[in-house]
Structure 1
């Protein structure tokens, strides 16, 4: 029951109606018996500053931030966590007594999920990354700081890939892969990560790279979580590669946000189960 003592948190994005975040977080608050409530707010880009003023005026404890606001929100905040600053995007805001602090839990949520589910040694990985957008930046910077051997970037826009490679290159050897070299950049990689939307519902028959480029020595990771098994992951599984879906990243980035807001350990298993239940209804 929402009372005058309930602490409010939420999601800022556009659109947000299909988000699994409200049901996931509200289940977590109930599990921990915390007097918090989570709601999704559809905020058009030209109203973002108003929404941030609303967080301050209404005393929300914090928000998650999704497309298209992850970059635009940064100058509206009082402080940016160093990792979020390096990534260049914020996905979680904490209201600390009126001071709004921006974090990025995407990258750590991803790495936590990857290690838990595949048992890999991060520092032994040669990574080939598909995409160079916001999700790619979060994943790549976190993997770089965790000490992977090398990162290779395949992206339609070479300029965006080159900019990301330049920044990552200060931490770990990084290169931009030309279209003609894409196959060989996967052939001797140990970890292939799709950060693009190719294969996302409803375009479930699409795949970001040809099946013949995959090999059994790969861990194939797809940030997409709807469908639960993308065509890329299905083909990886069929050839003997190890698949890793985006559900774990979604749950873990939410769990890290939960911990920032509440100061309590997140009930990650409850969060995962409720998301899987919802996704299985639509898959």
Structure 2
């Protein structure tokens, strides 16, 4: 039996095992998947001694894990962030997962002015996705000003015509604010949200965070993190097993089963 896992700290909130066991069951794959809490100071010994056939990486290790890998694929190398590992080789499925989620929810990205909240690994991956989708502009808002500047400079190197806009069409939350169990936290002042703004969250637990619920009341289009979560997981499984999985799954059924676990 092949063994897979997701590592992070904290990791209690993760529903990756439920997602992957669902995929394995549908496809008849003999494999297991578990979540493993790995603190920052334990990452190196874990990576040097782990016996898993593949793993997903989540907060706070998506950038720091890179130094313990033998190599990265082209996109992960460009992004500098990894969320999927096999044979000590790093990949990033977050950026493609984001684009697939936008397609599923009929969100048009081309020429739109986008604001990313946060400056971690997910923010960089989504910025990469936005560049590939030919958006109008990308801005970053984060409490970590140095990291925000780093990402903006990185964006400029791939997207020289990026001109920051103070009137975003799309706001994307890449912070953990509002994630289980801190449901009441919000990533941005509600006063900047209007019914014409598209609000996107990378958080999938809860299904809709407080700021998404507020936006929905205003009449704004909102997209929770569930579709991106499922998409990046399926894409990781495609890397591990070397087969096309997306077209063999009923994504709505998987989504509903995970929603039932959360609710």
Fold conserved between structures, TM > 0.5 = yes
The separation in 1 between residues aligned to 2:113 and 2:22, in whole angstroms, is: 37
Structure 1 pair 40/157, CA: closer, same or farther in 2 (3 Å)? closer
Is residue 217 of structure 1 aligned with residue 196 of structure 2? yes
Q: For structure 2, which runs of at least 5 residues remain unmatched after alignment? A: none
More off after superposition, 74-83 vs 45-54: 45-54
Alignment correspondent of 1:278: 261
Alignment of 1:1-283 (within 5 A): 6-55=1-50, 58=51, 60-95=52-87, 100-117=88-105, 119-172=106-159, 173-174=161-162, 185=166, 188-264=167-243, 265-266=245-246, 267=249, 268-280=251-263
Q: Matched residue of 2:26: which SS?
A: helix
Residue deviations 1:67-120, cap 9 Å, x none?
A: 22222221211111122122221110012xxxx210111121112102211x13
Q: Shift of residue 262 of structure 1?
A: 1.2
Q: Give the secondary structure class of the aligned counterpart of 1:169.
A: helix
Cα separation, partners in 2 of 1:101 and 1:228, compared to 1, 3 Å: same
Give the unaligned 5+ runs of structure 1: 1-5, 177-183
How far the C-alpha of 1:17 sits from its partner, in A, is: 3.3
Q: For residues 211 and 10 of structure 2, what CA distance do their matches in structure 1 show?
A: 26
Are residues 14 and 214 of structure 1, via their aligned partners in 2, closer, same or farther at CA, if it must alter by over 3 Å? closer
Deviation at 1:200, TM superposition (A): 2.3
Q: Which aligned segments of 4 or more residues in structure 1 are displaced greater than 4 angstroms?
A: none
- Residue 49 (structure 1) shift: 2.9
Task: Tell me the alpha carbon deviations over residues 120-159 of structure 1, each in whole angstroms, 9 at most, x when there is no partner.
Answer: 3321211011122221111111211221111112222222
- Distance change >3 Å, CA 13–CA 196, structure 1 → 2: closer
Task: Report the aligned-residue RMSD.
Answer: 1.9
TM-superposed deviation, 1:28: 0.8
Preserved contact between residue 107 and residue 142 of structure 1 (Cα < 8 Å): yes
What is the CA-CA distance between 1:261 and the residue it aligns to? Answer: 0.7
Query: How big is the shift at 1:218?
Result: 1.4
Find the aligned partners of 1:278 and 1:167 in 2 and give their Cα distance. 38
Single out whichever of 197-206 and 61-70 deviates more from structure 2.
197-206
Q: Summarize the Cα distance change of 1:14–1:235 in structure 2 as closer, same or farther, 3 Å threshold.
A: closer
Partners of 1:196 and 1:225 in 2: CA distance: 12
Is the contact between residue 176 and residue 203 of structure 2 (CA under 8 Å) also seen in structure 1?
yes
CA distance in 2, matches of 1:196, 1:44: 19
Deviations for 1:144-182, whole angstroms, at most 9, x for unmatched residues?
Answer: 122111111222222211110001012224467xxxxxx
Shift of 1:22: 0.9
CA distance in 1, matches of 2:124, 2:115: 13
CA distance in 1, matches of 2:75, 2:172: 20
